[in-house]
Structure 1
Amino acid sequence: MPTVLALETSCDESAAAVVRDNVVLSSEVASQVAEHAQFGGVVPELASRRHVEALPWLVERALQQA
């Protein structure tokens, strides 16, 4: 089976994982919950910028941990 790099973003979280043969080899998540709490909810512009900042290091860490 192939090795898969999985990426996911929700409104306030970014994640990267490496999976092979249905086994999760690594999984990294960056949450923005605390940052948005001060505004009483998710601020879309802020969330999108945080995804752009988080994904490169999440991917790097997931690949290193796999």
Structure 2
Amino acid sequence: MTAAVRELRDRHPGPEVRTRHLEFGQERAALPGHRIDAILAPEPIPAGRLRVRALYDEPRYS
């Protein structure tokens, strides 16, 4: 995550970019509750009124 945030800050130095750790399942309340603006999380994410976009796909191992 650190490399992604660093690149975002380098490309767009104006906005403040902070990271926040959420426990599993907290993302559903954090976005509509305006505690966060965006989230990187593994699928499935219960979308509801949220716009969800896959950024990449990685293999799953059991």
TM-score normalized by structure 2?
A: 0.24
Q: Which structure features the higher share of strand residues?
A: 1
